[in-house]
Amino acid sequence: MARSRSSSTGWRYLNPAYYLKRPKRLALLFIVFVCATLVFWDRHTLVTEHQEEVSKLNEEVTRLQNMLEELKSEKGVSVGKMNPKAKGSDTTKKIDVLDDPISVQRRERVKNAMIHAWSSYEKFAWGHDELQPQTKNGVDSFGGLGATLIDSLDTLYIMGLDEQFQRAREWVANSLDFNKNYDASVFETTIRVVGGLLSAYDLSGDKVFLEKAKDIADRLLPAWNTPSRIPHNVINLAHGNAHNFVWAGGDSILADSGTEQLEFIALSQRTGDPKYQQTVESVIIQLIKTFPDDGLLPIYINPNKGTASSSTITFGAMGDSFYEYLLKVWIQGNKTAAVKHYREMWETSMKGLLTLIRKTTPSSFTYISEKMGSSLIDKMDELACFAPGMIALGASGYGPDDSQKFLSLAEELAWTCYNFYQSTPTKLAGENYFFNSGQDMSVGTSWNILRPETVESLFYLWRLTGNKTYQEWGWNIFEAFEKNSRIESGYVGLKDVNTGVKDNMMQSFFLAETLKYFYLLYSPSSVIPLDEWVFNTEAHPLKIVPRSGQRENFEGSDEQKKLIVRSRARKEGRFGDD
């Protein structure tokens, strides 16, 4: 009976009448029900939110994995880790680096500097060659060819400044006119205008740039009509009359005569017309006849005889880019047999360069001296600070021992060039430096005109070694430009790096070279990869196109006539082929 009574008592709690007679117990039951419902609902909500978060995280992981796979699959681009102790690394191995937060920040700062420089030019000097920021007006330093605009095209494109690029493109298409009664420098017009237009074409595929490049190149060609095919360095764009600078005594200048090969060879490749390449390679054919055993040529050449005149030997002003182009034509030709003689000439010149290397006391800064006759001159131009980058770029073409030797030399020279900046009160370099026993270095000509050469070398060394020290040096230089050269209406040079007194010129190469190299110094190596592009001496990247043999088949090569340039993530400037 007890079991039966207990069962009966238990079932009564399920009878609603039991609770109707006992209100307090009904209320308690209601409270228990509400609390249980809330607990259940809260747990359900938490589970749902957790599932949503996990889903978002999974999507982000998938996105990052896809980006990683995309980077791995890019032609010529592998994903690797930077080696912070890369000094002395084997430059035959490609070093690839990814982004990091500091580089992203710095790249954005450089981009903002470009926007400031460009918008100032656009506002105060549109269509003119260069901006005078202090007086807020434009000047035509190069005959009114829109030098800053053309020089900036590829920088705008690489930085993803699409609206600015399109406005510049419209000016080129509708307003750029080369039919001017103006005596133009063949060298400056080639590296800035021909180079800038070809680079814009290679990057964008827009044929308006190619047509304009062909137009100006055709106007320059008569300069090579000399007995030796060594060009005159000045030509009238409207009439084709060519001559040399009076101050050069009738001679042609080495750098001005041997720094058109990249651009004119590229133009032949893009148009299928061999005349441009044949014209500029006639210079090399002439020079190789009497090329000296040490590969060092004086800065003056007789255009009638094709032989060097007695004058200074230097890797600075008027000599520099001749040696640069010997190496870069070899790279442009994809290092094939057709361009082997360029590499051989360059290596000969590097043997000669080693005879010019000296060290200061007491700090042992390595520098490249100049030579007059048999005497060395303890002077080095800031212009010669392109050499560390050039040497590093060419080091991988040697065997292991020589490769290491030249890379170490490049690193030592870069340290000297960095100290050109660090040794002045403004932390900006002067135009040249002298070296005296026991006193290391002293600034000679003390102006700074926003030159890019040291930053250029830091870019190459960072790309080729992965050593972030070069990024830090570059950032110190960038901050010095920001502090001393930035004004409300653009950027200016300094009349004196010791006092900081400003000049009134924003050089076109500041936008073409200095800011571009700064930007690339903080960009991944997939942005303008060095195995797919070669920079001219004005920092205009040209697409590398293989050359099959000594006699080019310009009509039959699709690769030479059609460049396929695909873009990914334009705002970050990544370019490469899938």
- Active-site positions read 188, 320, 431, 453
Binding-site positions? 537
Q: Is 422 helix (H, G, I), strand (E, B) or coil?
A: helix
Map 96-156 to HEC letters.
CCCCCHHHHHHHHHHHHHHHHHHHHHHHHCCCCCEEECCCCEEECCCCCCCHHHHHHHHHH
> Residue 212: which of 264, 162, 177, 164 has the closest Cα?
177
With contact defined as beta carbons under 8 Å apart, do 427 and 421 qualify? yes
Query: What's the token pair of residue 499?
Result: 């006092």
With contact defined as beta carbons under 8 Å apart, do 368 and 380 qualify? yes
From residue 143, alpha-carbon distances to 132, 193, 219, 236 in Å are 16, 12, 14, 10
From residue 279, alpha-carbon distances to 98, 223, 285, 340, 577 in Å are 42, 10, 10, 19, 32
Return d(Cα 360, Cα 71) in angstroms, integer.
44
Binding-site positions for Ca(2+)? 537
With contact defined as beta carbons under 8 Å apart, do 264 and 245 qualify? no
With contact defined as beta carbons under 8 Å apart, do 212 and 172 qualify? yes
